[in-house]
Structure 1
Amino acid sequence: MIRGHASFLLILALVTSVTFWVGRDQTASAQISSADSADATAPVFHDLSALPGVSGQLIMKPTFASEHVRDRPLYIWLPPSYGQVAKRYPVIYMLDGEHMFIDNLARPSRTEWQVDETLTRLLDEGRIREPIVVAIPSGGSRRYDEYVPQAPMQKHALRLALTFLSDEHMRFLTEEVKPFIDTHFPTLSGPDDTYLLGASVSGLTVMEAMTRYPDLFGAVAAMSPHLSLADGDVVTWLTGQLQTPDTHRLYIDRGTKGLEAQYARGFRRLRLKALDLGYVEGESFEATVYKGAAHKAKDFRDRIHAPLLFLLATDNAATADDPM
């Protein structure tokens, strides 16, 4: 379990345990019952929806056991119509998931990105499709080991004291988490409806995942991807791996202050390569620079609407960089 979750779990003594499950054919919407009367084979989740600051229905699987990486919780945000209609939903898998919903989990900043509030607002405005969001926390002290792409970083491992776990993390994501979600929730499981979102070094991870698993993930959003890493080797590798815009979509952004300024060269290279491959800005591609934005939680919070619009926009949605 990631650092910082132990103290928060004390809150769960005040929260009701519930079990969610879907029918075996997954044609029915999810049902809810008390843990006492639920199917014994169904996974148990804690309902966090009543916690201060939570917008909508948020549940947590306290421990998701993995054969590849450290066990950790999963936080799952369910759309407003969930459990009310027989419907399947697109899914966004968000890395660094401890930052998405609750201030107390967002260490060290204690500033959540307000994904739930932003989704609620965009849905109320009719600008996005209803998604299921699966927020997957980082590995804590093993965060870099899990998120840094191994292939372009191998020669830098000793200098940066990396023990690569990126391949194991990819197996965790693709062989364990995604199948679990597709089994227990009514998802649209194909690549056109399966997305990834990450920031900083996990922004690299989501782009790597799309290049390695193009049949699983059809669109990714990388906020402030750490494109200055390894003297440009990561950018060189990524630009050689990009999928075509015929089948995939890509969102990238960056700020201009502090660490964000160091991303400028790599960001420009990645944008030009995407355009060269035929990605069209405003359609299959977004590359936005936020002037004055720093590499801080409040800056990610203030623009989280942009990648959500890019991934989920309806036909009547405005452009992703519209102010909220």
Structure 2
Amino acid sequence: MTEERDLIVHLPEEYAKSGKRYPVLYLLDGKRHLYHSVLATQLLNKAKKIPELIIVAISNKENMRERDLNTESEKFTLFLRSEVMTYVNKNYRTTGSNILFGHSLAGFYTVDLLANHPETFESYIAASPPLQGDDITLYNKIMADSSVYKTEKKTLYLTLASKEEEGDDVASAMSNFVTLLSKEYPEGFDWHYQPLDGQTHITTSYLTLFHGITYVFKN
């Protein structure tokens, strides 16, 4: 991309001494989610629930969030794949196991990327994604690319607050998407939907990251 974009890379405490390679957690809306993601992953690692992670927070370009995550998302995907991930893999000791986290519109982008370019990440964590108008299309794309899931393990973790918090259209779309997946999904596709009743649209991001990253590494 012909734009400057900030990346914040948080390394495990023993990174310089360990010589080990690490999985990478990529955060959309990175500056908003970096702090709680660092705390969550450190706590979960100490509890032996997850390995240590490299965390890459991708900042937004001012007033360009809708463009990057929706109207021109293919350009952002090209930037993510060819520039950000290439840079991280070249400059840091990575395992090749990559996880994407997104909330709200970034959550929609996360599910959309899985449907259209599932090979990009191994795991996808989406908090409160507004799937309305796209739920059936996204499901059909996942089913059409089912051969990918047989050769590479893919994980999707989804959450949503109540219908009262998220709105009727968002809740109905998620319900339909989950119903379709419950009836049939590709072999090798590990997915889980967790309703978060009692939370708000904003607070789902915290619990989704915490429980989602635990789910990704449950085995």
**With structure 1 as the length reference, what TM-score do the two structures score?**
0.60
Per-residue CA shift, 1:157-206, capped at 9, x if unaligned? xxxxxxx32121111101110000000001112xxx11211011111111
Aligned: 1:294 with 2:200: yes
1:299–1:236 CA distance, 2 compared to 1 (3 A):
closer
1:84 partner letter: K
**C-alpha displacement at 1:216, in angstroms?**
2.5
1:248 partner letter: K
Aligned: 1:305 with 2:214: no
Name the residue aligned to 1:318: none
Aligned: 1:172 with 2:70: no
1:195 alignment partner, SS class = strand
1:140 alignment partner, SS class = coil
Per-residue CA shift, 1:51-104, capped at 9, x if unaligned? xxxxxxxxxxxxxxx33xx422111121233112121111121111121135xx
| Count of matched residue pairs | 211
Of 4, 23, 26, the match for 1:93: 26
Name the residue aligned to 2:60: 138
Per-residue CA shift, 1:208-265, capped at 9, x if unaligned? 222332333122011100123xxx2x11221111154543211110001644143221
Per-residue CA shift, 1:13-35, capped at 9, x if unaligned? xxxxxxxxxxxxxxxxxxxxxxx
RMSD: 2.1
Larger radius of gyration between Structure 1 and Structure 2: 1
- 8 Å CA contact 1:75, 1:135 repeated in 2: yes
Of 101, 104, 111, the match for 1:200: 104
Structure-1 separation of matches of 2:119 and 2:217: 19
Aligned-residue identity in percent: 22
Identify unmatched segments of 5+ residues in structure 2.
none
1:80 alignment partner, SS class = coil
Aligned: 1:278 with 2:181: no
Alignment of 1:77-116 (within 5 A): 77-102=10-35, 114-116=36-38
**C-alpha displacement at 1:275, in angstroms?**
2.5
**With structure 2 as the length reference, what TM-score do the two structures score?**
0.87
Q: Which structure dedicates a bigger proportion of its chain to helix?
A: 2
- 8 Å CA contact 1:92, 1:132 repeated in 2: yes
Kindly indicate whether structure 1 or structure 2 has the higher relative contact order, using CA contacts under 8 Å at least 6 residues apart.
Answer: 2
Aligned: 1:218 with 2:122: yes
Of 146, 156, 162, the match for 1:256: 162
Which one is further off, 115-124 or 254-263? 254-263
Aligned: 1:125 with 2:52: no
1:312–1:176 CA distance, 2 compared to 1 (3 A):
same
Identify unmatched segments of 5+ residues in structure 1.
1-65, 103-113, 149-163, 316-324
